[in-house]
Amino acid sequence: MPYPRSVALITGAGSAQGIGFATAKLLAQAGIAIAITSTTARIHDRAHELRQAGFNAFSVEADLTDWSAVTHVVHETLATFGHLEILINNAGMTQVGTAMGDQPVETLSLEEWEQGLARNATTAFLCCKAVLPVMKAQRYGRIVNVASVTGPVVTNPFEAAYAAGKAAMVGLTRTLALETATWGITVNAVAPGWIATASSTPEEHHAARYSPVGRAGTPEEVASAIRWLAAPEASYVTGQILIVDGGNSLMENKAPSLSLGIAPDSESNET
């Protein structure tokens, strides 16, 4: 089924190697007009790349923890395209120029805790709040929240604020799905695991080798899941979390296992 004259707003799409921009390219290839945002001016480079490839795209630089900035983004999207059918809440995890606050709970400051929740949960909440009147008026919409396995499914030491924020995104997804089900709006989440992006650390690349698939995922693999949830034919799927982690969260014993073909000194599957 083709996308009906759709426009997608994708947040957190500033990185050329990130999930947000991979999603923007994949949706643009399906004929969808694209509005992208990030907190820095590099977002305009991403929009230029899309236009150079022949796609209909524009960009807005905005801090999506600020309600006035969020409403400005939605207003500009509507002013440019006249309608808005798809929202992809990908903003979160890190913000350029802002510390992550990765430390034990006992030393984590209230400010760092609140920043983690704001980057991940509040941005999604505000963007959903801003687009809902538009989607309800047209009785159609697709919202996909990019959460994580960290928080909703598993976690790591020193990531309390990040894990709490991503878990909150899933709670928001489920509640909003119930509130909007009769309006032709679906609300779902994807939960990526180890994904090879520009912000991936050597430790994360190493950890990904011990997943059942034996490698990190790609932004395009996550984008493919997002694209399906954003499609018209996904109309009977709402309030769900789709895990994209190569089976990693299934495995209780993460020790190297020859039976799975995972060897601690093997480099063949590393990305």
Active site residues: 162
* Residues 6+ positions from 24 with CB-CB distance below 8 Å: 8, 10, 13, 34, 36, 46, 50, 57
Please give the Cα distance from 22 to 29 (Å, whole number): 11
- Of 200, 206, 107, nearest to 157 by C-alpha is 107
Residue type, 75: H
Please give the C-alpha separations between residue 135 and each of 28, 79, 87, 230, in angstroms, as whole numbers.
20, 15, 10, 13
CB 161 within 8 A of CB 109: no
- Of 42, 33, 52, 51, give the one whose Cα is nearest residue 13: 42
